Amino acid sequence: MGVVLPDGILNNPGLAFLRDWLIRHSKIIASVALPKETFGRNKGVNNPSVLIVQKFSHQEYLDSEKNIIDTRGSVFMSAPATSGIDKRGNTVFLRHPNGEYILDGEGERVADDQIAMVPSAYEIWKRG
Protein backbone atom coordinates (compact mmCIF):
# COMPACT_ATOMS: atom_id res chain seq x y z
CA MET A 1 0.00 0.00 0.00
CA GLY A 2 1.19 3.48 -0.71
CA VAL A 3 -0.15 6.48 1.15
CA VAL A 4 0.55 10.21 0.99
CA LEU A 5 0.54 11.77 4.43
CA PRO A 6 1.80 14.87 6.22
CA ASP A 7 5.40 14.51 7.36
CA GLY A 8 4.27 15.29 10.92
CA ILE A 9 2.64 11.86 11.19
CA LEU A 10 6.08 10.33 10.79
CA ASN A 11 7.82 12.76 13.18
CA ASN A 12 5.34 14.10 15.74
CA PRO A 13 6.07 12.61 19.20
CA GLY A 14 2.35 12.67 20.02
CA LEU A 15 1.64 10.26 17.16
CA ALA A 16 4.06 7.55 18.28
CA PHE A 17 1.08 5.25 18.89
CA LEU A 18 0.23 5.41 15.19
CA ARG A 19 3.77 4.55 14.12
CA ASP A 20 3.83 1.72 16.67
CA TRP A 21 0.58 0.32 15.22
CA LEU A 22 2.03 0.52 11.72
CA ILE A 23 5.20 -1.34 12.72
CA ARG A 24 3.11 -4.04 14.40
CA HIS A 25 0.92 -4.59 11.34
CA SER A 26 3.14 -4.06 8.33
CA LYS A 27 6.63 -4.02 6.91
CA ILE A 28 7.79 -0.55 5.88
CA ILE A 29 9.19 -0.78 2.36
CA ALA A 30 9.90 2.86 1.53
CA SER A 31 9.61 6.41 2.80
CA VAL A 32 9.86 9.34 0.41
CA ALA A 33 9.88 12.91 1.74
CA LEU A 34 8.42 15.04 -1.05
CA PRO A 35 9.12 18.73 -1.69
CA LYS A 36 6.60 21.15 -0.15
CA GLU A 37 5.52 22.26 -3.62
CA THR A 38 4.50 18.78 -4.77
CA PHE A 39 0.76 19.39 -4.35
CA GLY A 40 0.93 23.18 -4.77
CA ARG A 41 -1.51 23.19 -7.68
CA ASN A 42 -4.16 21.45 -5.60
CA LYS A 43 -3.46 23.15 -2.24
CA GLY A 44 -2.94 19.64 -0.87
CA VAL A 45 -0.77 18.18 1.86
CA ASN A 46 1.90 20.48 3.34
CA ASN A 47 5.25 18.74 3.85
CA PRO A 48 4.05 15.54 2.17
CA SER A 49 5.65 12.12 2.44
CA VAL A 50 4.86 8.86 0.72
CA LEU A 51 4.98 5.72 2.80
CA ILE A 52 4.98 2.31 1.11
CA VAL A 53 4.10 -0.62 3.37
CA GLN A 54 3.37 -4.31 2.94
CA LYS A 55 0.76 -5.98 5.13
CA PHE A 56 2.13 -8.73 7.37
CA SER A 57 1.35 -12.33 6.56
CA HIS A 58 -0.85 -14.08 9.10
CA GLN A 59 2.21 -15.64 10.78
CA GLU A 60 4.07 -12.31 10.91
CA TYR A 61 1.02 -10.75 12.52
CA LEU A 62 0.81 -13.53 15.12
CA ASP A 63 4.52 -13.05 15.85
CA SER A 64 4.07 -9.30 16.24
CA GLU A 65 1.33 -9.91 18.80
CA LYS A 66 3.99 -11.79 20.81
CA ASN A 67 6.42 -8.84 20.37
CA ILE A 68 8.48 -10.79 17.83
CA ILE A 69 9.18 -8.36 15.00
CA ASP A 70 11.98 -8.83 12.49
CA THR A 71 13.71 -5.46 12.25
CA ARG A 72 16.67 -6.61 10.16
CA GLY A 73 15.22 -5.44 6.86
CA SER A 74 16.20 -2.14 5.32
CA VAL A 75 13.91 0.68 4.22
CA PHE A 76 14.34 2.65 1.00
CA MET A 77 14.46 6.36 1.79
CA SER A 78 14.50 9.26 -0.60
CA ALA A 79 14.09 13.02 -0.41
CA PRO A 80 13.82 14.53 -3.89
CA ALA A 81 14.44 18.28 -3.75
CA THR A 82 12.25 19.35 -6.68
CA SER A 83 8.81 18.45 -8.01
CA GLY A 84 8.81 20.37 -11.28
CA ILE A 85 6.60 23.16 -9.93
CA ASP A 86 7.05 26.21 -7.74
CA LYS A 87 4.90 27.18 -4.74
CA ARG A 88 2.32 28.76 -7.06
CA GLY A 89 2.00 25.62 -9.15
CA ASN A 90 3.92 26.98 -12.16
CA THR A 91 6.21 24.57 -13.98
CA VAL A 92 9.93 25.01 -13.24
CA PHE A 93 12.36 23.96 -15.95
CA LEU A 94 15.97 22.82 -15.87
CA ARG A 95 18.54 25.32 -17.11
CA HIS A 96 22.16 25.21 -18.17
CA PRO A 97 24.66 27.27 -16.11
CA ASN A 98 24.38 30.01 -18.74
CA GLY A 99 20.62 30.29 -18.10
CA GLU A 100 19.39 28.60 -21.28
CA TYR A 101 16.70 25.96 -20.92
CA ILE A 102 17.70 22.32 -21.15
CA LEU A 103 15.74 20.70 -23.98
CA ASP A 104 14.78 17.08 -24.53
CA GLY A 105 15.25 15.17 -27.80
CA GLU A 106 12.11 16.78 -29.24
CA GLY A 107 13.17 20.33 -28.40
CA GLU A 108 10.83 20.67 -25.41
CA ARG A 109 11.93 22.19 -22.10
CA VAL A 110 12.66 19.64 -19.35
CA ALA A 111 10.85 20.08 -16.04
CA ASP A 112 13.02 20.18 -12.90
CA ASP A 113 11.34 17.14 -11.34
CA GLN A 114 13.50 14.90 -9.16
CA ILE A 115 10.42 12.93 -8.04
CA ALA A 116 10.40 11.29 -11.46
CA MET A 117 13.78 9.71 -10.63
CA VAL A 118 12.60 7.99 -7.42
CA PRO A 119 11.22 4.79 -9.04
CA SER A 120 14.49 4.05 -10.85
CA ALA A 121 16.48 4.83 -7.68
CA TYR A 122 14.24 2.36 -5.83
CA GLU A 123 14.87 -0.35 -8.43
CA ILE A 124 18.65 0.16 -8.14
CA TRP A 125 18.38 0.03 -4.33
CA LYS A 126 16.22 -3.09 -4.48
CA ARG A 127 18.81 -4.93 -6.61
CA GLY A 128 21.36 -4.17 -3.89
CA distances from 68 to 44, 47, 71, 109 (A): 38, 33, 9, 52
Q: Is 36 left (phi over 0), alpha (psi -120 to 50) or beta?
A: alpha
Q: Give the CB-side neighbour count of residue 120, counting CA atoms within 13 A.
A: 4
Sketch the domain layout of the chain as residue ranges: 2-127
Q: Mean pLDDT across the chain, nearest whole number?
A: 91
Read off the pLDDT of each residue in 95-101 and give the average, rounded to a whole number. 96
103 has pLDDT over 70: yes
Report yes or no on whether pTM surpasses 0.85.
no
Residue-wise pLDDT for 28-84, tens only, equals 999 999 998 888 666 667 789 999 999 999 998 899 889 888 777 899 999 999 999
**Is 29 within 8 Å of 74 (Cβ atoms)?**
no
Separation of alpha carbons 93 and 84, rounded Å: 7
